[in-house]
Structure 1
Amino acid sequence: MPVVNRIAAYADDMKTWRRWLHAHPELKLDCHETAGFVVDKLRAFGVDEIHEGIARSGLVAIIEGQGPGRTIGLRADMDALPMDEETGLDHASTVPGRMHACGHDGHTTMLLGAARYLAETRAFSGRVALIFQPAEEDIGGGRIMVEEGIMERFGIDEVYALHNEPGQPFGTFSTTPGPIMAAVDTFRIHIRGQGGHGAYPHEAVDPIPAALAIAQGCQTIVSRNNPPREDLVVSVTMVQSGSADNVIPEKAFVGGTVRTFTPGIRDMVERRMGEIVAGSAAAYGVEALLDYERGYPPTVNHEGEVEKAAAVAREVAGDAAVKIDRPREMGAEDFSYMLEARPGAFLFLGQGEGPSVHHPKYDFNDEIAPIGASFFARLVERLNPL
């Protein structure tokens, strides 16, 4: 596997960086210590510009090539998840209730590795914009960075990102043109009845039957309202009510997630959910309010950029290790906002067997960091040759 020799030479440094990041996880937009670590490394590498405070703790660094040319954007996410770690590793999280369970510590490390090499060699024209983004897991730091104008401010022409993937063969790349990950919406349904004694239900207005009817009704959207060839997930993940066995509660709550790929299906789900909530409220004599929040849009790769990225991945990993017909999946990514703003591609990098992302025993495989860094570096050199 032709990893760039210079990058392979500092693989141990990358492992050290990654494990420090893993031990010091931060959440949402508050990735200030992580950003400080990144800035210190970038300054030591000799990048040309560092612009901080974008999306609160995000940053963009610029490396100038030799001569005029386009600006290639490379993105890494920096935030962790609000969960406890159960790996027992020496570099495990030092912060209770926070864990790098999705590998963003590894993504940041891979981009730092590419930055070090590109700043040393500068064997490309144009320039590179290194995007270090907070809040991928929540809020949408990618959206905020786009809204704050990074594409225009730094003249970014194309943008690319990698995500590690446990369970896929080590060092393999996979992607697809068009939709690769779904849009994500959240629904919260608040139901109010009238509380009372469990022995006298006729004197109360029980919100629980309405909550159960709404939960069951929402499941029929997939089976009865959605065209069978359209991908759709409606998952009721929370049904909450009550505090004692002999008390009819006043309130109930139903919540969950919706995953779609097309605007028409997204609109249909929101409409039908509103109808189900309103109809159930009338049927059971309760008040019910639907809060339907539209989140990240689908992550849609651009065909030409997928072809460019795949060619570079084959150079790094070999033809047999690159797949460009990956089935789209129902997870979501806020890199979608960057792909709405500029042409680009999102790829997965297999890290071998092990616990999945978002699992308390997950850990990023440090052995793939030089592969990902080599991909980023070669991508710039091939897209912007001297």
Structure 2
Amino acid sequence: MPVNNHIAARADEIAAWRQDFHRHPELMYDLPRTSGTVAELLRAFGCDEVATGLGGTGVVAVVHGREPGRMIGLRADMDALPILERTGAAYASQTPGRMHACGHDGHTAMLLGAARHLAETRAFAGTAVLIFQPAEEGGAGAKAMMDDGLFSRFPVDEVYGMHNLPGLEVGRFAMRPGAIMASADHIDITVEGRGAHAARPNQGVDVVLAGAAIVTALQQVVSRNVDPLHSAVVSICMFHAGEADNVLPPVAKLGGTARSLDPQVRLHLRERVREVAQGVAAAYGATATVEFSEGYPVTSNHADQTAFAAEVAREIAGGAAVDPVAPPLMAAEDFAFMLEAKPGAYIFIGNGPSAGLHHPQYDFADGAIAYGASYWVRLVERALPL
């Protein structure tokens, strides 16, 4: 079964929803217009239940098939990013400093298109639960919805997610069993020394020098402390110290991220970053306090559900257009929390030669809509056959 003809005929309308979301981006949990529009459309489609307010502004719709059966969940994220858009699109963001730079507008629109088709046809036995989630971009909206009773109220047997991928041709899909995206922890380092006049550095303890040495040393944690066959990243991305060019400041603050595809590597990174930062600081006569804030866990696909997702994708795009063992990404994704609670799979759909995710010139490829919405529909029909 190729792209659903009925959905393809409506692709322009679904794209219009997407472009409307794009014009009006909202951040994190503050999604009154986006979640309100989603709920209004779902009710208009005739979904059997539309619940709002889960995890703050999450929306969940329920569509029952023609016969009873199992329950599966499909998830899309809704939030945008605090980035100034530079696409020049006719439907560009109308709110300066905010834009849909990760394609969540497209994810939401594709799941809405699938919801309408499922509500109209109901060609399955069981229940489809359509999850529209806030705050994927750093706010752990998936966990917030779960903490608010998502899976106790809607006890799905499996859950599936999908994200667009720039560089992958439109009409193609990619996935892999096991770790497909990395864990992400936040690193905060405070280096304390002794301030002094810049002309007399010997009377102080230079935290800028110590901090610079810490940054350099931390780049060796992965290359010399992590098994070469494992993947890890340590990046220090912020360095703040001082207010004048002739004063050695007493304090410097560094911030960054540690990422890995393995929970044991994740723990090892925490240990080594702390030990290295503190040891290097001491060598310069300073002290370093290292704090880790736990972010998203590894996004780890379940083998059976990933194989099933690949089968469905092949029906939509053809066998040659599906990569079932794609390389993982070191970006992070809060769908990981859902996969810790339920079996399921997270896959990528091609976005073509667009700018990268989180780039001010990124835009979701509307040509992917028919493929994505068709995938959702066929996944429900295959997972819940009549």
The answer to whether the superposition gives a TM-score over 0.5 is yes
Distance 1:272 1:321 in 2: 41
**TM-score between the two structures when normalised by the length of structure 1:** 0.97
Task: Give the equivalent residue in structure 2 for 1:44.
Answer: 44
Contact 1:146 1:341 in 2 (8 A): no
Within 5 Å, which residues of 2 pair with 1:1-386? 2-386=2-386
How much has 1:194 moved relative to structure 2?
A: 2.3
**What RMSD in Å do the two structures reach over aligned CA positions?**
1.2
Q: SS where residue 132 of structure 1 aligns?
A: strand
**TM-score between the two structures when normalised by the length of structure 2:** 0.97
Contact 1:296 1:333 in 2 (8 A): yes
Q: SS where residue 127 of structure 1 aligns?
A: strand
Contact 1:74 1:130 in 2 (8 A): yes
AA matched with 1:278: Q
Distance 1:118 1:98 in 2: 32
User: Does 160-169 or 91-100 show the bigger shift?
Assistant: 160-169
How much has 1:165 moved relative to structure 2?
A: 1.2
Q: SS where residue 356 of structure 1 aligns?
A: coil
1:118-168 superposed Cα distances (whole Å, 9 cap, x missing partner): 000101111010000011111210111122221221111111111111211
AA matched with 2:343: P
1:276-326 superposed Cα distances (whole Å, 9 cap, x missing partner): 222233222323211111211111111110111111111111111111010
Contact 1:183 1:295 in 2 (8 A): yes
1:188-221 superposed Cα distances (whole Å, 9 cap, x missing partner): 1011222221111222222112111211221121
Distance 2:213 2:88 in 1: 43
How much has 1:245 moved relative to structure 2?
A: 2.1
Q: SS where residue 300 of structure 1 aligns?
A: strand
Distance 2:175 2:368 in 1: 17
User: Does 230-239 or 71-80 show the bigger shift?
Assistant: 230-239
Q: SS where residue 82 of structure 2 aligns?
A: coil
How much has 1:83 moved relative to structure 2?
A: 0.6
Q: SS where residue 68 of structure 1 aligns?
A: strand
Contact 1:162 1:347 in 2 (8 A): yes
How much has 1:242 moved relative to structure 2?
A: 2.3
How much has 1:273 moved relative to structure 2?
A: 1.4
Q: SS where residue 60 of structure 2 aligns?
A: strand
Q: SS where residue 84 of structure 2 aligns?
A: coil
Distance 1:113 1:202 in 2: 67
Contact 1:182 1:259 in 2 (8 A): yes
How much has 1:222 moved relative to structure 2?
A: 0.8
Contact 1:213 1:280 in 2 (8 A): yes
Distance 2:98 2:291 in 1: 28
Distance 1:249 1:210 in 2: 12
AA matched with 1:295: G
Distance 1:225 1:309 in 2: 36
AA matched with 1:209: L
Distance 2:35 2:361 in 1: 25
How much has 1:235 moved relative to structure 2?
A: 1.2
Q: SS where residue 259 of structure 2 aligns?
A: strand
AA matched with 1:297: P
% same residue? 52
Q: SS where residue 126 of structure 1 aligns?
A: strand
AA matched with 1:308: F
AA matched with 2:226: N
Distance 1:286 1:118 in 2: 63
How much has 1:59 moved relative to structure 2?
A: 1.3
Distance 1:316 1:225 in 2: 43
Distance 1:96 1:128 in 2: 37
Contact 1:140 1:296 in 2 (8 A): yes
AA matched with 2:217: G
Distance 1:100 1:64 in 2: 31
Contact 1:163 1:347 in 2 (8 A): yes
Contact 1:198 1:248 in 2 (8 A): yes
Distance 1:167 1:277 in 2: 37
